[in-house]
A and B are shown apart, each in its own frame.
Chain A
């Protein structure tokens, strides 16, 4: 049995919080270059260039890309042969978030209660999802999620008879209703199947997939490309000021479901497809 120290988890999570809020992946840079080439609106092109300039500046100065450094959503893949020593796993994650958001000068955006709404002051608690997997490693992914795009997300329980067409229509409706609010160009995460909560989690997890990478299932990959084309025909464009590039990509994940239902969840991510991972 492999031993992993809680203090190493604290340190790793702290670093991942800062890294994810200040830098974007190679997939993002490549996708943005392509988007700038494709964008027909001069204002849209200019906005995309400003987003690249912003990302360069953030990486160079370790300043946050966006002031909404979000809620720290943490995905764990915990090997079943791992033993955590010297502390509690979830406490270690929260201690890492507290350290990262404080030392990285990141905004603390968590309130203690949805109705009382007092800021917790250190961006905890994190939202943690754990999968138990074979092996003796712990993979930690930190994906800070801001509210501007999260607020434009939606879920609907379709009927099986609504089928693929119903899914396409719902995704397009959500994107059009969102319009300029989630800071397009966006990444559209879609979860179909499972049950109510499973669809939402699939949509959220799909945001971690690199931009430009298709689902392995051919019929889902095809759905992704059709949605991307239709979304980019909406005319919403960068910042919603009109243009060709409304979405940088569409990621769809699916799961077996009940004979009588077709859940669809759409989780919108702003242009900053922030996440960082480490394996202990």
Chain B
């Protein structure tokens, strides 16, 4: 088990290998389809971005609303592939270091991960209630009008993830499936 605290620098990420079990601590930002679209449009229009993503980690999630007295509702990962169109630019131009999600990534994203020393983490899809317990603080920092799709700043404690694609381009999905395939 590897314990990491965000933000993540290049040297830290270089040591991670696909399949490593990691516990993340510190601040991470949420973002999914609509927020990514706005971030990329803002970047392309030369506008100042609402969050500095250098060396930060984005969690692809759209949480349930928090019940009274709770920090956040269910908050498991969404399918990362929908952000593939935006991820290379957020990595290359905004300095994003890590992504948390679930599911396959495109070749373009894998290339950007390799070229810029980023990492793709996986959280257990469908374990939204369980994962929400590792989130200790949540506040909206941008695009509040998007509701569940707004950008939240989350403070996490021992948030459980697995390295899905490391900065050398190794992909746990390819390796895991090969091992258990019959015929």
Contacts and interface: CB of A to CB of B under 8 A. Distances in A.
A234 interface: yes
B175 interface: yes
Interface string A77-114: 00000000000000000000000000001111100000
A41 B79 contact: no
Nearest to B122: A239
Interface string B22-40: 0000000000001000000
A108 B67 contact: no
Contact of A51 (B127, B176, B177): B127
Given A235-B181, A242-B175, A243-B176, A108 B147 contact: yes
Contacts of B124: 47, 50-51, 54, 239
B177 A108 contact: no
B102 A180 contact: yes
A108 B150 CA distance: 13
A64 B176 contact: no
Interface residues of B, number: 44
A235 B177 contact: yes
Interface string B82-111: 000000000000000000001110000000
Interface in B134-183: 146-149, 162, 172-173, 175-183
Nearest to B80: A181
Given A179-B104, A181-B104, A107 B73 contact: yes
Given A63-B74, A107-B63, A148-B125, A179 B103 contact: yes
A251 interface: no
Given A148-B78, A239-B122, A180 B173 contact: yes
A64 B180 CA distance: 32
B76 A179 contact: no
A233 B183 contact: yes
A37 interface: no
A241 B173 contact: yes
B129 A239 contact: no
B125 A239 contact: yes
B128 A64 contact: yes
Between B62, B76, B126, B182, the greatest number of chain A beta carbons within 10 A of the residue's beta carbon is seen for: B126
A183 B103 CA distance: 8
A58 B180 contact: no
A180 B103 contact: yes
26 contacts: A50-B130, A51-B126, A57-B133, A63-B73, A64-B73, A64-B128, A64-B129, A65-B129, A66-B127, A67-B61, A67-B62, A67-B64, A68-B62, A68-B78, A105-B65, A106-B64, A107-B63, A108-B147, A180-B104, A180-B173, A235-B176, A235-B181, A237-B176, A240-B176, A242-B175, A242-B178
